[in-house]
Chains A and B, each alone.
Chain A
Amino acid sequence: MTAAAGGHRLARAPATAALLIILAQASGLTRAQTDDPGASGAAPRAAEHGQHRPQEAAPDHAHSLSLDGAGAVMNENAGTLPRDCAEVSRDQEITVYAGREFAAEFPGNTFGLSQHEYYVEPCSRITVTFVNNDDVRHQWMVHGLPRYLYPTGMFHIEAAGGHSRTGTFIVPSDHRTYLVHCDMPQHMERGMKAQLKVGRGSGDLWSIPGVSGDFERDSYLPRGITLWFLLAVLSGAAIFSLLTYRRGGLTLPGGARRHGVRSDREA
C-alpha cells in the first residue's frame, strides 16, 4: 500500500509511564485495581495511552445491562458466587449519595460522594443504592472484579440526574482494595473517587478525598516566594556565620567544643 505507512504503532512507554508503573506497584495501586496484576490500573493505562483504536468492534455484549430513563446497572450479580466463595458470607447494603454538595468539604473538588470508602466482608453480597442529587448523570463504577463473573471486571451503576438506581454484586474472598469512581470526564479527577475495601483491603489508592493524597499535587505558593526563599537562604548563612565565627568557636550538641579556623590561627 502506498498510502499507509508500514508498521503498527507499538505501545509507547514514555519514561513517565514507566516511572508511574514502578510507583504504582510500589504503592500497591496496581494490585489494588486489578485482578491480574499489570493488566489494569492507572499505571498500565498510562503505558497504553495514545494507542489509536477509534473503531473498536461493537460494544462488549457479554455485559448484562439494565437500562431505563433513571439510569443503568451493568453486570448485576445477585446469585452467582465467585469461584473462591463457598457461600455468601453476608448481605451488606450501602447507600451512596452523589453530587456537587458532597464536594463542599474538600477544597478544590467539584463533584463528590457522600462516602469515599466502603468496608465489606470477603464473599459478601453488596447492594448499592446510588442516589444522584445533581441534575446531570453520575456513575458508581467498580473496577478489578473477576472477569469470569463481571465482563471487563466491572460493576457499574449509572443514575440520571435526580434519580437513583440500585444494583447488587458479590465480591470474591481475597482481601483487596477496589477502585470505585465516576468515569465521566473529569468527575473522578474532581472528587468522585472512592475505594471499596474487601476484608483488610490491600492498601489505599491515591487521591481518595479525605483518605489519601494526590500524587500530582498542585503547588499553592504565595506571590514573592522566590524572594522569601532567598531570604531564608541568606538567614541560614547569617546564622551559620554567627555560630561559627563567634570567639571561642562553635558549641556542638553534647557540649564538645570545636575551634573555628580563625581561633586556630590566633592560637
Chain B
Amino acid sequence: MIAIRKRWVVATALLVALLSFPPQWYPRPLRVQSAAWFGASDYRSLPESEAMIDDVVEEACPVDASGWREERVIEDIRIRRSPTCLVDNPYAVAAFVRGTNNVSQQVLLESGLTPDAVEKGRDLDGDGDPDEIHIRLEVTELNGSSPELDLPVTQFSIAPGITPGLWVFSPKALGMATENFESLTAQTLLRLPSPAIRIEQGDRVQITLENTHYMPHTLHFHGVDHAYRDANGEGNDGVPITSEIPVLPGNARTYELQPRVAGTTFYHCHVQPHVHVTMGLQGLFVVEENRPNNWVQTLNVGSGHVRAPSRAVAERFDREYDLHYLDLDGDLSSRIQRFNDPRLITKSMHRQYDVTDATSDYFTLNGRSFPYTFREALVVARPDERIKLRVVNGGPSGIALHTHGHKVTVTHRDGVEAEPAARVTRDVVWIAAAQRVDLALDTTNDGLHSYGSGVWLFHDHQSRGVTTDGIGPGGHISAIVYEEYLEENGWPRTSGVPWGPYFTEAYYRKERPIWASYAPGLFSDTGVDVWLVARLTVLGLATGVIVAAAFSGLRRRGAE
C-alpha cells in the first residue's frame, strides 16, 4: 500500500520536474522541433528596469571658506591665484619660499608647519637668495589600520570611497594628523603624492629623513647630482645594498647634495623599492636654474600648480604645473589595512606579495583619481599662454600621455634639455617608468598647438589608466581648462553628462549602471524574472522529492 503511494508520488514529481524545467534550457534541436510543431510561444514581458537608487552625492566642489584660491602677498612673497576648486594652503607656500625659520609665528601657525620644516640659511653666492637649504621630511601612512576601528585611519580618498593604503614623504607638520579630533580625514599637508622638492642649482642642500613610520626607509635621489658619500664619508645614495643601513623607525638621517645641473629629477625610498616606491614614497625633485634673487618654492605639497615659480620659469612661462602620475596596486596597498602588527604587515608586503604577478588598479594624478582630479589636478590656461608642465611617471609601466585639443612640445627628458631641432611636438607623449618630461603647452589657437578654448581632457591613452579598478571614467583623467570655462568656484563648466553619479561611492563600487543618469530605463539594471525563479523553485522541490525517494529505496534494499 505504502509502496504504491510512493510510486505515484515519484511519478508525479517526475512529471512536475519535466513541466517546470525552463523551456529555454532544453537542447536547441528539441526546441526547434517543438517550435515546428507548436509554433511560437506567447509573449511574456521581459523584467522591468530597476528603479534608480538615490545615492548620497558628494559635493563636487566644496566652498573655499578660507579664501586660499585668491592671489595674495604673504611675507613679501607673491602667491599666485590658483583658480581650481581645491588649492594648497598659501601660508604653507609662503613658508616654503621664505623658509619656516624666516616667517612670522602667525604665518608659521597658519602654514601648520614646524619651525624647522624648511630652514633657509646664508646667501653663499651673494645673489640675493638663500643657498643653504635644510628640508626635513617625515614618513606618513595614509589609510592605515587601527587596533580599534575596521576603517582606514588618517584617511585620504583618491576618489569617492576609494582609500588605498599609502605611504608618503610629508613635510614636518605640527599638531594633529587629522582635520580635527572628530574626523578621520588627514589634514591637508598629509597627502599623496609626496611633495615636489624645488631647489636652486648650486644650493647646498641637506635633506633629513625623519622616519616617523614603523618600517625602515631611505631617500634616494634619482637623477639628482649628489655625491656617493657625504662629508663624513657615510653613504649618501639611499641604497641599502650598497650605501647605508636604512633609517629605522624613530631615527633620522641627513642626506647632502649640491646639484650642479638644473632639471626635473626624482626622489624615492630605496628600501624594498618594488614595494615602497609603489606605495607612494616618491616625489618630483626640481633643480631650478640659478638666477639672482631667486626664491623658489621648496616644497609643492600635492604637486600641482606652482604658485610661486622660479625666476627662470617666470621669464619664459605664464604658469607652471607639477604633474605626478602614480599607479597603485590594490592588492599591495590593502595589505597595510589587513593587519595591525608590523611583523605581519612586513611579511605580507615583502614576502607574500609578488610584484611579478602584480597589476595596477588605481591610477592617480597628483594623488587623485577622476572625478577628484577635476577639483585640483586641472591645468588651467588662457589663450596665447605658454605653460610649463613637469611630468613624472611614478608607476611601474609607461604612460602614453595624450592631450585633447593640443599638441605639446617635449623640451626636456629626464631633466636634460633637447636640442631645438630635436624638440618634437605631438599629442601622445610616451613616458617610461620613473621618466620625467618637461612639456611646453602653447595655447595659441593656430590649429596645431591649440584648437582654441574649451575643457580638453588629458590622460594616458592606454585603456587601464582611465579607469579606477576597471570602472570608467576614472583613473588619472584630468583636463586643460580655459579660464572662460571655469565657474566662479573653480569647477569646469561642462556640457556633458551630469557629474552626480561620479561623486557617489556606489558608482566606483561597480553597483550602478553606467548610463542610467541620462538614459533612464534604457540601460538600467534589470529586474528579476520572477516566473523563472518560480519554475526553478518547483523544479527544486520536485527534484528533492525524487532524490529522497531514491535514497529511501536504496536504504530499504540495503536493509533487506
- Given A52-B59, A69-B115, A185–B140 Cβ distance below 8 Å? yes
Q: Per a CB cutoff under 8 Å, which of B57, B63, B140, B175 touches A5? A: B57
Identify which of A7, A74, A107, A108 contacts B57 (C-beta below 8 A).
Answer: A7
Checking A4, A217, A218 against B491 with a beta-carbon cut-off of 8 angstroms, the contacting residue is A4
Judged by DSSP, the binding face of B is: loop
Could you tell me the distance in whole angstroms from the C-beta of B111 to the nearest C-beta in chain A?
9
CB distance from B497 to the nearest CB of A (A): 11
Please state if A3 and B487 are interface contacts (CB–CB under 8 Å): yes
Interface presence of A178 (CB below 8 A)? no
Decide yes or no whether B451 CB sits under 8 A from chain A: no
- Specify which of A10, A55, A206 is in contact with B188 (CB 8 Å cutoff): A55
| A90 at interface, CB cutoff 8 A | no
Query: Which of A12, A111, A185, A207 is close to B177, meaning CB atoms less than 8 Å apart?
Result: A185
**Contact of B146 with A by CB under 8 A:** yes
Contact status A49-B499, CB under 8 Å: no
Contacting pair B66 A56 (CB below 8 A)? yes
Give B184-216 as 1s and 0s: 1 = Cβ < 8 Å from A's Cβ atoms: 111010100000000000000000001111100
CB contacts (< 8 Å) of B142 on chain A: these are: 185
Evaluate contact between A50 and B161: CB separation under 8 angstroms. yes
Name the B residues within 8 Å of A74 (CB-CB). Answer: 175
CB distance from A175 to the nearest CB of B (A): 22
B62 touches A48 (CB 8 A): no
Interface size class of A (residues with CB under 8 A): 35 or more
Q: Which residue of A lies closest to B339 (CB)?
A: A218
B151 with A17: CB separation less than 8 A: yes
Bound-state Cα–Cα, A69 to B491, Å: 40
What is the interface of chain A mostly: helix, strand, loop, or mixed? Answer: loop
> Which A residues touch B421, using CB under 8 A?
none
Chain B CB within 8 A of A57 CB: yes
Residues of A within 8 A of B250 (CB): 99-100, 110-111, 134-136
| B20-72 CB contacts (< 8 Å) to partner A | 56-66, 68
- Distance of B181 from chain A, by nearest CB (Å): 6
B462 at interface by CB-CB < 8 Å: no
- Are A58 and B110 CB-contacts (below 8 A) given A51-B185, A190-B214? yes
| CB <8 Å contact, A218 and B57 | no
Which residues 136-187 in A have Cβ within 8 Å of B in the complex?
136-137, 139, 141, 143, 152-154, 156, 158, 160-161, 183-187
Besides A20-B149, A136-B252, 12 more A-B contacts (Cβ < 8 Å) are A39-B182, A46-B184, A59-B110, A110-B250, A134-B250, A135-B250, A137-B172, A158-B175, A183-B178, A185-B142, A186-B153, A189-B153
A107: B residues at CB distance < 8 A = 341, 343
Alpha-carbon distance A42/B151, docked complex (angstroms): 11
Query: Per-residue 0/1 for B315-357: is the Cβ within 8 Å of any A Cβ (1 yes, 0 no)?
Result: 0000000000000000000000001111110000000000000
Best-buried of A3, A45, A67, A100 by chain B (most CB within 10 Å): A3
Nearest-Cβ distance from residue B296 to partner chain A, whole angstroms: 24
Q: Is there contact, CB below 8 Å, between A153 and B210?
A: no
A-B contact pairs, 28 of them (CB 8 A): A4-B489, A5-B59, A7-B500, A9-B58, A12-B505, A20-B149, A20-B150, A40-B182, A42-B149, A52-B59, A55-B87, A57-B65, A58-B110, A72-B174, A108-B341, A108-B342, A110-B250, A136-B211, A158-B174, A185-B153, A185-B177, A189-B144, A189-B153, A214-B340, A215-B148, A216-B150, A218-B339, A218-B340
Interface check A68, CB cutoff 8 A: yes
| Contact status A5-B147, CB under 8 Å | no
Q: For residue A9, give the distance in angstroms from its CB to the closest CB of chain B.
A: 4
Residue of A nearest to B492 (CB): A3
The answer to whether B105 has its CB under 8 Å from any CB of chain A is: yes
Which of B59, B141, B180, B213 sits near A9, CB closer than 8 Å? B59
Contact with A along B489-506 (1 / 0, CB 8 A): 101111100111001010
Q: Check B149 against A46 for contact (C-beta < 8 Å).
A: yes
CB of A84, distance to nearest CB on chain B (Å): 22
A-B complex: 10 closest residue pairs judged by Cβ atoms: A5-B500, A134-B250, A4-B60, A214-B147, A135-B252, A110-B214, A100-B250, A49-B184, A108-B341, A3-B491
Is A183 within 8 A of B498, CB to CB?
no
Q: Count contacts on B: residues with CB < 8 A to the other chain.
A: 83
User: Distance in Å from the Cβ of B191 to the closest Cβ of chain A?
Assistant: 9
Q: Given A5-B500, A135-B250, answer yes or no on A108-B149 (Cβ-Cβ < 8 Å).
A: no
Among B70-111, those with CB < 8 Å from A are 86-87, 105, 108-110
Partner of B66, one of A45, A48, A58, A134: A58
Q: Is the CB of A9 within 8 A of B57?
A: yes
Contact with B along A252-264 (1 / 0, CB 8 A): 0000000000000
Chain A residues with Cβ under 8 A from B58's Cβ?
Answer: 5, 9, 52
- B residues contacting A by CB (< 8 A) are 56-66, 68, 86-87, 105, 108-110, 112, 114-116, 138, 140-142, 144-151, 153-155, 157, 161, 172, 174-186, 188, 190, 210-214, 248-252, 339-344, 487, 489, 491-495, 498-500, 503, 505
Q: Give the residues in chain A near B114, CB-CB below 8 Å.
A: 137, 160
Q: Mark A116-143, 1 if CB is under 8 A from B, else 0.
A: 0000000000000000001111010101
- Within 8 Å by CB of A135, from B57, B210, B343, lies B210
Alpha-carbon gap, A143 to B176, bound state (A): 12
Q: Are A153 and B181 in contact (CB under 8 A)?
A: yes
B141 touching A186, Cβ below 8 Å: yes
Chain A residue nearest in CB terms to B191:
A54
CA distance A59 to B250 in the complex (A): 28
